[in-house]
Amino acid sequence: HLPVARRRRVLLKLSGEVFGGGKLGVDPVTVRGIAEQIAATVGTVEVAIVVGGGNFFRGAELSASGMDRSRADYMGMLGTVMNCLALQDFLEQAGVDTRVQSAISMAQVAETYIPRRAIRHMEKDRVVIFGAGAGLPYFSTDTVAAQRALEVDADVVLMAKSGVDGVYTADPKKDPSATKLEHLTYEEALIKDIRVMDQTAMTMCKDNKLEMMVFGMEGDGNVTRAILGEQIGTRVTV
């Protein structure tokens, strides 16, 4: 048998912020818009998504107000699953087959995380949505995005950002002379403490030579363009 040309496969990281439109909970209009942009790429690119949960709970914040950290982190993970279900719903409405895979078992709403099965879903044009983070307290969904991308053999991690369209030389909200970078190495990001994703996640990408692109959600069709491989933000490589 001749080897079959593999399609582009991406891991899209959507933070909880994106789901809530800056507020607590899920903003259906926003989620529908994102789902439609993802739907436009199905059949061309294989898409897996890691969903954050900051629009519901962040473990570190709950723990700062007195909760046990691990329990608070589990609340954070459960929040991500609600985002997964919202995204699943709007993707299905847009005509896309989807599967949610959760790192915490909850058979009624999601499959268990099984990486080989996730790959099979993508090969069949299903979008796979990973929920409940790693299922482990003290982790972030950024780290999970890097880990899942490696395990399902994605070509790139796409970090969708709200309110900013890439990595800048300085904080563009504070420094008007800041310019957007086309490219950055993980080394530079780590040394300069540029927080495009958390350090654990960045180290994992660096050690495993996984490429990342940081881009802004806001532009017209930006999510579609990023998935299709257009360079609209900042590329981060080793």
15 touches ligand UDP by CB under 6 A: yes
- Nearest approach in angstroms of CB 181 to ligand UDP is 22
16 touches ligand UDP by CB under 6 A: yes
Question: For residue 196, what are its two tokens?
Answer: 């495009």
Q: Which member of 42, 59, 214, 236 binds ligand UDP (CB under 6 A)?
A: 59
The response to whether 74 counts as a known ligand-binding position is no
134 touches ligand UDP by CB under 6 A: yes
67 touches ligand UDP by CB under 6 A: no
- Nearest approach in angstroms of CB 49 to ligand UDP is 12
Number of residues that bind ligand UDP (CB under 6 A): 22
Pick the closest to residue 35 from 224, 230, 232 (CA basis): 224
Instruction: Tell me the longest C-alpha to C-alpha distance in the chain.
Output: 60
Contact 196, 214 (CB under 8 A): yes
Question: For residue 145, what are its two tokens?
Answer: 């995005």
Q: Quick one: which segment of 54-62, 110-118, 161-169, 216-224 binds ligand UDP (CB under 6 A)?
A: 54-62
Q: Quick one: which segment of 28-36, 129-137, 153-161, 176-184 binds ligand UDP (CB under 6 A)?
A: 129-137
Q: Which residue's CB is nearer to ligand UDP, number 147 or number 224? A: 147
Q: Which member of 9, 36, 53, 122 binds ligand UDP (CB under 6 A)?
A: 53
DSSP lists the bridge partners of residue 46 as 9
Q: Which residue's CB is nearer to ligand UDP, number 169 or number 200? A: 200
Pick the closest to residue 151 from 87, 216, 101 (CA basis): 101
d(C-alpha 67, C-alpha 70), whole Å: 9
The response to whether 140 counts as a known ligand-binding position is yes
54 touches ligand UDP by CB under 6 A: yes
List strand residue ranges (DSSP E) for the chain, in order. 9-14, 46-51, 98-102, 111-112, 127-131, 156-161, 183-185, 211-216, 234-237
Q: What is the DSSP string of 161-222?
A: ESS--S-BSS-TTT-TT--B-SEEEHHHHHHTT--SS-HHHHHHHHHTT-EEEEEES-STTH
Contact 7, 43 (CB under 8 A): no
The response to whether 139 counts as a known ligand-binding position is yes
The response to whether 136 counts as a known ligand-binding position is yes
Task: Summarize as ranges the residues that interact with ligand UDP (CB under 6 A).
Answer: 15-17, 52-54, 58-60, 73, 76-77, 80, 133-134, 136-137, 139-142, 144
Binding site: what residues are annotated? 13-16, 53-54, 58, 73, 134-141, 168, 171
